[in-house]
Amino acid sequence: MSYPRRALISVTDKTGLVDVARTLVEAGFQLVASGGTARHLEDAGLPVTGVAELTGYPEVFGGRVKTLHPVIHGGILGPTTESFAATAEQGIAPIEIVIVNLYRFEEAVARGAGEAETVEQIDIGGPTLLRAAAKNFSRVTVLSRCTQYEDFLADFERNGGATSLGFRRQMATAAFELVERYDNAIASWMAGPAQREPAEIALRYGENPHQVASLHLPPVNDGEPALASVGLEQHGGKELSYNNIVDLIAAVKLIGDFDGPCCGVSKHTNPCGFGLGEGSLGLERALKCDPVSAFGGVFAFNREVDQETAGILGKLFLEIIVAPSFSEEAMAHLKRKKNVRILTVDMEHFLAATRNRSRSWGSMILKQDEDEGFPELNDWNVVAGREPDPKTVLALSLVWKVCKHGKSNAIVLGNEESTIGLGFGQMSRVDSVELAIAKAKAANLDIEGCVAGSDGFFPFPDGVTKLAAAGVKAIIAPGGSIRDEEVAKSAAEMGITLILTGRRHFNH
């Protein structure tokens, strides 16, 4: 008996989902999705079967109960395709792929949400689906994090529209680990404030040495380091200061926007160098952009730091090195630098714990959602010049993402491998353009044929004119100026490509 190939999708974080779903549809999969996920996929023009349509049972209690149904769990837990012959009369057919991520419980706790809101962020169906799919990894592929999509698509393509057993086992392991951490976070919170006290770390000083400062963190279990509550662990170096914490957050968020191995160098929360590549390659590419500003900076990696990379770092003056892990040799080498703060970071945990932003002035607190995702990179508008080739697309994507992390009026020059010139924090955009060009020239880097990213629109053609004169071949910006047409016309006359995204990432 033949069955339709089915993928069950129910996600809170929809980053990158459409690309995966479209690939599955093209491979002949039927998409089964719930609530907001179904609407998101439908809005993208993809055919979707609602969970209620499949089960014949409506969502109840405002969506609290939707996927807890034998048609869903039977479809996941059936051991072999042949075994479904016995359940055909009940409408239970195999589900081959499960894509689920969980409600944002840890974020709710981290931002101090009230009890009722926090309880609503305790996911029941999500962990149940993940455990079921992970248990049946011999047949079912489970994806529990957006960061797994790239590897999934690669394995899916290599195996002709299926996944390998090794990949399924790897994804199952990740799913069980995620559910364990999620349940532990809930249990810790449920213990109540009488048993769990918020952690407070006295910092070396505030923004200036005469200012007293402290770091307040979510409660942790007895004997657990306070920084573990946000996915950090310090292994050596001096105590952290207020500025160290601010710079550390900025550096990790920068590398967190890239899936491939990379190194980001930050100073005073601004990127001063970024490079794609494993280990020392990413580090060397990041350093070449502005080695002077990198002096005393934060060096962040999204892959393990090896001995070769540690050898280069050991020759530099820097404040912080942060990475998911360090080889034994690398850690031993770096610990010789007594003052350097060495930290490991659980990227997913840390990014979740720092997702929403706030600033406070006494009793006055500003809060906002995190600026997440880059959907505009899949739907930009070329308003001048020729369509970019694949290599230029990679470069434009790189400078656009780095731009998000620079302070107001950000201009980033770069290629498909790294940044080559950076201009941040100026009162006018044309000043940032001039600064980025000057930085690249000071580092003896070739601007000819590079691309540029801008975090805001160009109010006049002058910035575009200066970039073109310096040798920039393509520019990406959000647009939105009343002079967009004039700016586009100027770009066209100079023979450069201008892309407007319609979405900005301005970091004030």
DSSP assignment of 228-267 equals GGGTEEEEESSPP-HHHHHHHHHHHHHHHT-SS-EEEEEE
Tell me the C-alpha distance between 48 and 71, whole Å.
17
**Which backbone phi and psi does 344 adopt, to 5 degrees?**
-100, 150
**Range list of H helices, 298-450:** 307-313, 328-334, 347-353, 390-403, 429-442
**Residue at token pair 């880097």:** 445
DSSP letter, residue 351? H
Pick from 55, 77, 78: which is nearest to 66 by CA?
Answer: 55
Tell me the C-alpha distance between 420 and 439, whole Å.
8
Q: Helix, strand, coil: what percent of the chain each, to 5?
A: 40, 20, 40
DSSP letter, residue 303? S
Torsion of CA 436, 440, 441, 445, to 10 degrees: -160
Could you report how far apart the first and last alpha carbons of the chain are, in Å?
60
Pick from 257, 267, 231, 461: which is nearest to 373 by CA?
Answer: 257
Amino acid at 35: G
Pick from 345, 352, 318, 320: which is nearest to 245 by CA?
Answer: 320
**Residue at token pair 């000057």:** 438
User: Any bridge partners for residue 205, and if so which?
Assistant: none
List residues with catalytic annotation. Answer: 135, 268
Tell me the C-alpha distance between 490 and 500, whole Å.
14
User: Any bridge partners for residue 358, and if so which?
Assistant: 367
User: Any bridge partners for residue 477, and if so which?
Assistant: 500
Pick from 21, 19, 45: which is nearest to 33 by CA?
Answer: 21
Query: Kind and range of the H or E element at 477?
Result: strand 474-477
